[in-house]
Amino acid sequence: MSAAAASPRATRRALWLLTYAPTVWALHFLASYVSAALYCAKWADATGVLGPVRLLIGLFTVLALLAIGVTAWRGYRQHRYGEDGAVPHDAATAADRHRFLGFATLLLCGLSAVATIYVAMAVIFIGSCR
């Protein structure tokens, strides 16, 4: 690990990393819902078959899971920072605070990935607007 990363800085940005994965989930959810709703309201034909929208949402899902994966990797590295970092990360040091934020990020990535998959399952089982 480089010297620059050796002392984890207490920037406000550090807290935002926690929110990346759930935010990706939220954006994926919004993009999927809006795409399907607009398509069904404006452009679907009488049978209401979904067709292209399912592929689009599949694409969104892949992108979302990739973004969550990248964040999970960052969180994991942060969680394993330094030598001595076992859970619980409850020591009064900058290093443990850094590890705590990494672990929390990692856990939130796991939840966000599961939630994204649950939402995306809709396009596997539902094929029409009706």
Partner 1 sequence: MTTPGQDDRARQRGQESRLLRAWATPTGWRYWTAVNNTEVGLWYTAAAFLFMLFAGVLALLMRVQLAVPDNDFVSANTYNQLFTLHGSVMMFLFAVPVFEAFSILILPQMLGSRDLPFPRLSAFGFWCFIIGGAFVCGSIFFDIAPQGGWFMYPPLTTQYQDGLGADVWLLGLSFIEVASIAAAVELIIGVLKCRPPGMRINLIPLYAWYILVVGAMILFAFPPLIAGDLLFELERAFDWPFFDPSRGGDPLLWQHLFWIFGHPEVYIVFLPAVALVAMMVPTFAGRPMVGYTWIVLAAVGTGFLSFGLWVHHMYATGMPGISLAFFSGASEAVAIPTGVQIFCFLATALAGRMSRSLPMLYVSGALAIFVLGGLTGVMVALVPFDWQAHDTYFVVAHLHYVLIGGMGFPVAAGFYYFYPMATGKMLSERLGRIAFWLLFIGFNVAFLPMHLTGLRGMPRRVFSYAEGMGFDTLNLVSTVGAFVMAAGVTVFVWDVVRPKRRQPYAPRNPWNAGTLEWLAEMPAKPWGIRSIPIIRSRYPLWDQPDLVKDVDEGRFYLPDAEEGRREFLVTSTIDAVPIQCQRVPGPTTVTIFAAAFLGGVFIFATFGWYLATVVSGVLALAAILTWLWTGTGEIPEKPDKDVGLGLRLPLYAAGPNSVGWWAMFITMIGDMTAFASLVFGYFFYWTVRDDFPPGPDAGPGQFWPAWAAALVLAAWLLTVAARECNRRSMAGGYYAALGAAALLTVAGAAALIAGPRLTGLDPTSHVYPATVWVLVVWGVAHLAVGLVMQLYCVARRWAGRLTPVYDGDIRNTTLYWHFTAVTGAVTCAVIALFPLAGAP
Partner 2 sequence: MVAALLATGCDGPQSALAPASLDAARVAELFWWMVAGSAAIWLAVITIGLYAARGRPRSERAGRRLILVAGALLPTLVLGALLIYGLRLMPSAHDQEADLRIEVVGEQWWWRVRYLRDDGGPVELANEVRLPRGARAEFILSSPDVIHAFWIPSLGGKRDMIPGRITRLVLRPDRVGEYRGACAEYCGGSHALMAFPVVVMEPAEFDAWLRAQAAPARAPGEEPARRGQALFLANGCGGCHSVRGTEADGVIGPDLTHVGSRLSLGAGVLPNEPAEFARWLAHTERIKPEVRMPAYSMLAREELDAIAAYLEGLQ
Q: One symbol per residue from 43 to 82: x for binding partner 1 (CB under 8 A), - otherwise; what is it?
A: -----x-x--x-----------------------------
User: Looking at 17, 27, 63, 104, which residue binds partner 1 (CB under 8 A)?
Assistant: 104
CA separation, residue 27 to residues 35, 70, 105, 127 (Å): 12, 16, 17, 22
Query: 């900058």: which residue's tokens?
Result: 94
User: Looking at 26, 27, 31, 49, which residue binds partner 2 (CB under 8 A)?
Assistant: 49
8 or 32: CB nearest partner 2: 32
Q: One symbol per residue from 94 to 123: x for binding partner 2 (CB under 8 A), - otherwise; what is it?
A: ----------------x---x--xx--xx-
Burial class (CB in 10 A: 0-12, 13-18, 19+), 76: middle
Q: For 39, which DSSP code?
A: I
